[in-house]
Amino acid sequence: MTHPSYQDPDSPAYDYSDDIAIAKAKAILGRPSQYRDEFCETIITEGFKGKSVAQMAIACGVSKRTLLNWAEQHPDFLHALAIAKTASLDWWETIAQTHLVESHQGEKVNASLWSRSMAARFPDDYTEKNKTELTGADGGPIKGLQVTFVDSASE
């Protein structure tokens, strides 16, 4: 025998309002954030060492996704992250300026490896962008090309 107030969740008459309220309450409460104001200084320090965002996250003991979530939620942290990224870029550019030119005092950095690394780490500043346009003779349209559009919904 079932309890008189029991509702079968598979029944079409089942009232989900209590379940929804509980789920919303859990979502609002969630797990407490590990964020602390000191992390602003931590990531700036890591940035001045040339560390990546992933390495900054590890220094804070969290994932990269969590670090980026904090930046969305805490304006001071967002500002600190911007400073840290700029400091990291500066560190890498200084390494290049110091070591890319062969000298008797320093080692030579592999320029190809450095270029690829910079493009991967700082795509806004170092990615080469190529634009390709296809045109016909004298910049006109391509002739002899027929394009047919088919509406798949009508087939």
Between 30 and 84, residue with greater pLDDT: 84
Radius of gyration of the chain (CA): 28
Stated length of the chain: 155
Query: In this predicted model, which residue has the larger pLDDT, 85 or 145?
Result: 85
Q: Is the pTM of this model over 0.75?
A: no
pLDDT tens-digit map of 119-144: 888 888 887 777 777 777 787 777 77
Strands (E) located in the chain: none
Q: What's at 123, amino acid-wise?
A: P
The tokens describing 45, both together, are 């320090």
| pLDDT score, position 39 | 96
Question: Residue 46: CB partners within 8 Å, gap ≥ 6?
Answer: 55, 56, 59, 84, 88
Report whether pLDDT(80) > 80: yes
| CATH architecture assigned to 38-126 | Orthogonal Bundle (1.10)
Delimit the domains of the chain by residue range. 38-126
Determine the Cα angle at 13 with ends 10 and 18, to 5°.
85
CB 109 within 8 A of CB 95: yes
Range with the lowest mean pLDDT among 81-85, 104-108, 142-146, 147-151? 104-108
Using 50, 70 and 90 to split pLDDT, how confident is the model at 70?
very high
The tens digit of pLDDT for each residue in 111-125 reads 777 788 788 888 888
Cα separations in angstroms, 151 against 47, 147, 154: 52, 13, 6
For the stretch 13-60, pLDDT in tens is 666 666 666 555 555 555 678 999 999 999 999 999 999 999 999 999
Task: Give the end-to-end CA distance of the chain in Å, rounded to a whole number.
Answer: 55
* pLDDT value, residue 53: 95
